[in-house]
Amino acid sequence: MANPVKALDGLIRLARNGVDAARRNVTAVEDQITAIEADDARLVAEVAAEKAAAGNDPAMIAGWVAYAGRVDRRRAEIARHLTLLRKARERALEDLAEAFRTVKRYEIARDNRLARAAHEADLRETDRMDEIGMAGFRRKAAEEGE
């Protein structure tokens, strides 16, 4: 018969690999969010610098207005992408939590099986000691009865 504790140890290892993969996924999504937020901040700073460079010159302001419109569209696109990534992060965190719960479930099952095996071993030892005691008692009674 296969050792059920060894089987659970294998499942625990696999589940821990799942936790590691889920962590990597969360980290990758968070890295993407950080990079896109940095890109957005760079665009905001760039717009401010371009506005300052345009000053009050009407020819420069017309160019700046067109530029600002493109930047606004790009920032709206960034905002949509960030929304999607934040939802992906929530899903990744839920997956990570589920992976942790799975590992914990397997660990609890393993611990329960180990405790049950230890209890059964204690019962067998108690039965063996009782049998030895009873055999000694019978032998002593037989010797006294002779």
pLDDT tens over the chain, length 146 residues:
457 678 888 889 999 999 999 999 999 999 999 999 999 999 999 888 888 877 777 777 777 788 888 999 999 999 999 999 999 999 999 999 999 999 999 999 999 999 998 999 999 999 999 899 898 888 888 888 76
Please give the CATH architecture assigned to the domain spanning 2-114. Orthogonal Bundle (1.10)
> How many Å apart are CA 89 and CA 26, to the nearest integer?
6
> How many Å apart are CA 64 and CA 60, to the nearest integer?
6
- pTM score above 0.75: no
Q: What angle do CA 28, 25, 75 make, to 5 degrees?
A: 40
